[in-house]
Amino acid sequence: MTHPRFRCRTGKFDRYVSAGSIEYWPHPQMAIDEAARILTPGGKAMIIGPIRATNPVSRFFADLWYLFPEEREYESWFTKAGFTDIKIHQVTPDWYNGDRSHGLIMGCAVVGTKPDSWSQPQRQPQAVAPEGTKAETASIISILMALPRFVLGSVGGLYYALVPMLIFAKNAWFGGSTVVTTIFAMGPIVLALCRSTARTGMVSDKKRL
């Protein structure tokens, strides 16, 4: 969410659902405040989003990519927005065998209720760029500064595209063996390196002849 306020009146809806978007919000607290504002008293908000990894390697790549909050952060955001009866439901695919150490792109569902006594939280407004100015203010320097972040984010995204596939292979095909899964994953890379080395050797032999 980049706009400071939703374009709808206070207390208009009885349900608010967001799935797979909080990781892109620059100001999660501001967005959850707005979710509370537009709900009727007794209305419920649900946010489904990623969960932070405990595995240090996965945490490193997650931080390169986008926001992976911890459960306590979700609870804090909902509490500060004025929600009550906050519940966090863990979401884990069956084939993960309960392993949440690598984090999950859809790792939890957080639900909160807007109380009858809710009042608008008083907070320092976040600086938000007016709509339509991004393209006008973009410069070559800003684009160049964003390139490293784009590259690193792409690496993180690739990592999290491969992790679920490897976890599935590990638990569904290889009986949970990390060693066998690693060999399976590294096989194509080793094969490509061997082929590259063989071709280099053939070129060198031809030059000698």
Distance CA 118, CA 131 (A): 30
Q: Are 74 and 7 in contact (CB under 8 A)?
A: no
Distance CA 18, CA 26 (A): 15
Distance CA 49, CA 18 (A): 8
* Domain limits, CATH 3.40.50.150, in the chain: 13-113
CB atoms within 10 A of CB 23: 15
Residue 47 has pLDDT above 80, yes or no: yes
pTM: 0.73
* The pairing of beta strand 13-19 with beta strand 39-51: parallel
pLDDT tens per residue, range 89-115: 999 888 888 888 888 888 999 999 999
Please indicate whether residue 201 or residue 74 has the higher confidence score (pLDDT). Answer: 74
Mean pLDDT of 173-201: 62
Distance CA 199, CA 186 (A): 20
Share of the chain above pLDDT 90, in %: 37
Distance CA 209, CA 204 (A): 9
pLDDT tens per residue, range 50-91: 999 998 988 988 888 888 999 999 999 999 999 999 999 999
Handedness of CA 163, 165, 171, 174 (dihedral sign): negative
Helix axes 28-38, 71-80, angle to 10 degrees: 50
Distance CA 65, CA 61 (A): 6
CATH class label, 13-113: alpha beta
Residue 136 has pLDDT above 60, yes or no: no
Residue 123 has pLDDT above 80, yes or no: no
Please indicate whether residue 96 or residue 127 has the higher confidence score (pLDDT). Answer: 96
Please spell the DSSP secondary structure of the chain, one letter per residue: --SSS-SS-TT-EEEEEEES-GGG-S-HHHHHHHHHHHEEEEEEEEEEEEE---SHHHHHHHHHHS----HHHHHHHHHHTT-EEEEEEE---GGGTT--TT-EEEEEEEEEE--TT------PPPP-PPTT-HHHH--HHHHHHHHHHHHHHHHHHHHHHHHHHHHHIIIIISTT-HHHHHHHHHHHHHHHHHHHHHHHHHHHHHHH-
